Amino acid sequence: MADRGPAPSPSATLAPDGRDVAHQQIDIRKTTPAEPAAVWRLLGDSFTWPSWTPIEWVIVDRHGDQQGLGEMRTIKIGRSRLREEIIERQVESTLSYKLSSGRPLRHYHVDIDLTPLPEGTEIRWYTTVTSKFPGLGWLYRRELRKMTQQFVDGLAMHSAREDGAAHE
């Protein structure tokens, strides 16, 4: 698995219990009956994301190497245009990306792990992020949690549908 994000900085905004309130983590898991290959066909292809997420469109600004590492993509979701870079890619296993621009966030890092199970595939979407504005971390966490849940639900549902169609 990839690095799970930075530790709180010495200048972090801390809650009374010592938590870094600007640094947020979102960890969502879901099992789909689809095989990892079916899930990966959607997850590993940036151009499919608008079909199973709230993303309106994707533009690949820079293609990655043979494995897809280094791919830079711009996505439109709602009123935002976000620029992301693929930083880890292990076919049928892991996709990681980081935000390059588009939100007032630092250290925005996403790891998506696929784990084969007897009943299908577990999807784990793990995000770490630090708000550039102290006190707003909770707001970004709420927004990102909702959006991430939509991504995971969409990926699970669409991959199960595609995998079922492939076995018919």
All structural domains of the chain: 23-166 (3.30.530.20)
- Per-residue pLDDT, 163: 77
The amino acid present at 129, given as its one-letter code, is: V
The string of DSSP letters for 78-135 reads TTEEEEEEEEEEETTTEEEEEEEESSSEEEEEEEEEEEEETTEEEEEEEEEEEESSTT
- CB atoms under 10 Å from CB of 165, counted, come to 9
Asked if 3 and 9 touch (Cβ cutoff 8 Å), the reply is no
| Cα 42 from Cα 52, distance rounded (Å) | 8
Half-sphere exposure in the Cβ direction for 26 (13 Å, CA): 25
- Per-residue pLDDT, 141: 77
- Per-residue pLDDT, 9: 44
- Kindly state the DSSP code that residue 2 receives in the 8-state scheme: -
CB-based contacts of 8, cutoff 8 Å, min separation 6: 14, 20, 23
Mean pLDDT (10-residue bins), the chain, 168 residues = 46 46 84 97 97 97 92 94 96 95 75 98 93 68 90 97 69
